A and B are shown apart, each in its own frame.
Chain A
Amino acid sequence: GNSVTQMEGPVTLSEEAFLTINCTYTATGYPSLFWYVQYPGEGLQLLLKATKADDKGSNKGFEATYRKETTSFHLEKGSVQVSDSAVYFCAADPMDSNYQLIWGAGTKLIIKP
C-alpha cells in the first residue's frame, strides 16, 4: 500500500545549523509530494511541493527535490532559525486514490539559540 516514512524526531539543532529531514515514500505511479509545517498551536501550512521527478520545491529557505530513483523527498535548509521550530510533515498524493494525502508521522524540529 501507499505510505510515507519520515525520520523520527525530535531533531534538535543550534541556530544557523544545516537541516535535513528525510522522507521516503511508497506509492504506485508518481505521486505529488508535499511538505507541510505545523507551528505550535497552529494548523497545517503548505511549505513546498513537487509534482514530478527532479522537480525542486522551495520556500522560506527550505528546499526538497523529488528523487524518483530513491523515492525520496528530503527537506533541507542551509541555516535554520529559532523561528523554524515546528513539526514538519511529509505527505504524498498518490495517483490511485481520490487525492487524499498520505502522511508521514511528522518530525519535530527544535532550534536552540
Chain B
Amino acid sequence: EPEVTQTPSHQVTQMGQEVILRCVPISNHLYFYWYRQILGQKVEFLVSFYNNEISEKSEIFDDQFSVERPDGSNFTLKIRSTKLEDSAMYFCASRGTSGGSTDTQYFGPGTRLTVL
C-alpha cells in the first residue's frame, strides 16, 4: 500500500541553524500539507500546497518557514533560523487527486525536530 515517507526521523540542531525536513507524498496525490505537534499538545496546521504554490497557511507559518516541491516527488519544509520553540514533531500529509473533502489525508511517520 502506498505511504507517505519522511526523512529524517529525528533531527537535532542548534538554535539559529537552518533545517530542511523532507517528505515524499503518495505518488498520485496533488494536495500536500505540513502539520506540527509540540510534545503533548494538539496537532497544528502549518501550510497546504497545491499546484506548486501555497494555498493556505496558518499564523505559525511565518517568514522563517518555506515549502518547496523541487522535483515532482519530494515536498520539503525549510526553517531558516530555528528557535527553541520550533522543537516539535512535524508531520507531512497528502491527499487524493480529486481534492474533495471526502478524500483522506494520509500522514507520514513524522520528523522529530529538537532545537538546542
Contact = CB atoms under 8 A, between A and B. Distances in A.
A82 interface: no
Given A98-B48, A100-B33, A89 B104 contact: no
- The main secondary structure of chain A at its interface with chain B is loop
Interface of B: 31, 33, 35, 41-45, 48, 50, 55-56, 91, 95, 99, 101-110
Query: Does more than half of chain B's interface fall in helix, strand or loop, or is it mixed?
Result: strand
Nearest to B102: A51
Nearest to A92: B101
Given A32-B102, A44-B91, A103 B107 contact: no
Interface of A: 31-32, 34, 36, 42-46, 49, 51, 89, 91, 93-95, 97-106
B101 A93 contact: yes
Of the candidates A32, A89, A98, the one having the most CB atoms from chain B within 10 angstroms of its own CB is A98
Nearest to A101: B105
A12 to B, nearest CB: 17
